């Protein structure tokens, strides 16, 4: 399987725990300004100073490794560490971006819970890990794609921390061409659970992406089976109306977070006219992103795949920012 950073952190932590060591798990709890990592980013630190993962641009990682070697974190409950707050920290650690960040640091001595978490991630299950700062107790809870607040990607309020592991987002790709393979590989590294659908059986033989599911059924039926929700993405990449249009019609009437289609502006206008004949409303048609992807001058399948994933990253960050602003207003 393609390994995300979260996966690599969990694997390293278990390797070191199984070898008889304890480890420290650092998680970005909050950021201000231009901090280089978003909340939920992690790293694991061995007592000898080795580490896997990232919580900043490199300066904080080195500082944490040095403090670990000095034994500064050996005792106590999970602790909050802040960087970029005081002038001495700024001078010592650097934070060249000028931002500020808050970390939660945990000492982990037992492998049992992390092993269950890794097994869930490898099975492409969605799991929420909870940490109580007052007691140090941790727990795992299964998640489903719903409005359940416990399955928000990340939550921190200085009393509790919750982080979701596994394929937090689902992606359905319509059409099994080279572009879909490129998109699938990138999406897997970003923790998407990827499914490809193409009603042409001969295309299944050429599919070469480990970790992605393949469905040889009617594309509209595939979207219906997916039951797209707020963490789902549907991309029509076949450039064939017979495959794309039915799937898009179903997706645009669903709660999918993002629905996109490959093609030029001219093709997009023709596509919208065809979809209008399927009795979609103006609001539903307006949800279709096309041509899909950021306009970065991409031409090759690899470049177009990068443009598509960049557009998804942008949309998800915008949505997360709006949600954060709303939450801040509600708690003001």
For 26-76, what is each residue's pLDDT tens digit?
999 988 766 667 889 999 999 999 999 999 877 888 989 999 988 888 777
Per residue in 112-139, pLDDT (tens digit) is: 999 999 998 888 788 899 999 999 999 9
Q: What is the pLDDT of residue 148?
A: 46
111 shares its domain with 205 = no
**Is position 329 within any domain?**
no
Sheet with 51-53, strands from edge to edge, namely 51-53, 42-45, 23-32, 100-108, 79-83
**Is position 330 within any domain?**
no
249 shares its domain with 202 = yes
**Is position 39 within any domain?**
yes
* Nearest alpha carbon to residue 79 among 49, 103, 46: 103
Give the residue from 165, 188, 215 where a domain finishes: 165
Q: What is the pLDDT of residue 326?
A: 60
Peptide bond into 287 cis (omega under 30): no
Average pLDDT on 255-273 reads 93
Average pLDDT on 260-267 reads 93
116 shares its domain with 85 = yes
- Give the pTM: 0.71
185 shares its domain with 47 = no
Q: Are 102 and 38 in contact (CB under 8 A)?
A: no
Q: What is the pLDDT of residue 209?
A: 87
> pLDDT confidence of 3, banded at 50, 70, 90?
low
The burial class, CB within 10 Å (0-12 / 13-18 / 19+), for 253 is middle
**Is position 129 within any domain?**
yes
Between 226 and 322, where is the model more confident? 226
201 shares its domain with 105 = no
What CA dihedral angle connects 37, 7, 310 and 261, to 10 degrees? -150
Kindly report which listed range (17-26, 154-163, 243-252) carries the lowest average pLDDT score.
Answer: 154-163
**Is position 161 within any domain?**
yes
Locate 310 and state its tokens.
């960049």
Query: For 71, how many CA atoms within 13 A lie in the half-sphere containing its CB?
Result: 0
Q: Are 285 and 245 in contact (CB under 8 A)?
A: no
Which range of residues forms the domain containing residue 275?
A: 169-314
Give the residue from 136, 165, 194 where a domain finishes: 165
Which of 7-16, 68-77, 159-168, 318-327 shows the highest mean pLDDT?
Answer: 7-16
Locate 15 and state its tokens.
């390797």
* Nearest alpha carbon to residue 263 among 255, 253, 254, 273: 273
Q: Which residue has tokens 């037992």?
A: 110
195's enclosing H/E stretch is strand 192-197
Task: Determine the Cα–Cα distance for residues 307 and 297; give it in Å rounded to an integer.
Answer: 9
**Is position 42 within any domain?**
yes
144 shares its domain with 181 = no
Q: How far is CA 45 from the centre of its chain?
A: 22
24 shares its domain with 159 = yes
**Is position 327 within any domain?**
no
12 shares its domain with 154 = yes
237 shares its domain with 200 = yes
Give the residue from 101, 134, 165 where a domain finishes: 165
Q: How far is CA 145 from the centre of its chain?
A: 14
69 shares its domain with 53 = yes
What length does the chain have?
332
* Nearest alpha carbon to residue 40 among 136, 170, 154: 154
Q: Looking at residue 21, what DSSP letter applies?
A: -
154 shares its domain with 197 = no
- Tell me the CATH number at 202: 3.40.50.720
Quote the number of domains for the chain: 2
Task: Determine the Cα–Cα distance for residues 47 and 52; give it in Å rounded to an integer.
Answer: 12
**Is position 207 within any domain?**
yes
Q: Is 265 left (phi over 0), alpha (psi -120 to 50) or beta?
A: alpha
Q: Are 98 and 34 in contact (CB under 8 A)?
A: yes
125 shares its domain with 75 = yes
Locate 182 and state its tokens.
């490129």
Q: What is the pLDDT of residue 151?
A: 58
Q: Are 90 and 84 in contact (CB under 8 A)?
A: yes
């Amino acid at each position: 399987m393609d390994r995300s950073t979260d996966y690599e952190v969990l694997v390293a932590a278990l390797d070191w725990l199984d070898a008889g060591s304890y480890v420290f798990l650092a998680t970005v709890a909050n950021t201000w300004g231009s901090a280089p990592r978003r909340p939920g980013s992690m790293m694991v630190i061995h007592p000898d100073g080795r580490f896997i993962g990232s919580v900043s641009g490199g300066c904080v990682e080195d500082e944490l490794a040095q403090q670990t070697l000095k034994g500064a974190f050996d005792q106590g409950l999970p602790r909050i560490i802040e960087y970029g707050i005081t002038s001495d920290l700024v001078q010592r650690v650097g934070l060249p971006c000028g931002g500020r960040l808050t970390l939660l640091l945990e000492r982990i001595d037992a492998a049992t819970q992390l092993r269950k978490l890794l097994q869930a991630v490898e099975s492409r299950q969605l799991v929420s890990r909870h940490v109580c700062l007052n007691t140090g107790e941790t727990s795992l809870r299964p998640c489903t794609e719903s409005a359940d607040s416990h399955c928000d990607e990340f939550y921190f309020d200085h009393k509790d921390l919750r982080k979701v592991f596994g394929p937090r987002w689902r992606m359905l790709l319509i059409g099994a061409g080279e572009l879909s393979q490129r998109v699938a590989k990138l999406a897997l590294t970003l923790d998407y659970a990827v499914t490809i659908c193409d009603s042409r059986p001969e295309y299944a033989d050429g599919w070469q992406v480990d970790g992605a599911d393949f469905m040889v059924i009617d594309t509209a039926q595939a979207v219906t089976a997916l039951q797209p929700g707020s963490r789902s993405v549907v991309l029509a990449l076949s450039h064939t109306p017979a495959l794309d249009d039915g799937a898009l019609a179903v997706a645009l009437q669903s709660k999918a977070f993002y629905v996109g289609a490959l093609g030029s502006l001219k093709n997009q206008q023709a596509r919208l006219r065809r979809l209008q004949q399927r009795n979609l409303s103006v609001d539903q048609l307006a949800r279709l992103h096309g041509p899909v992807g950021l306009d970065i001058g991409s031409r090759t399948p690899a470049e177009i795949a990068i443009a598509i994933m960049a557009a998804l990253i942008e949309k998800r960050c915008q949505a997360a920012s709006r949600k954060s602003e709303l939450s801040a207003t509600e708690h003001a």
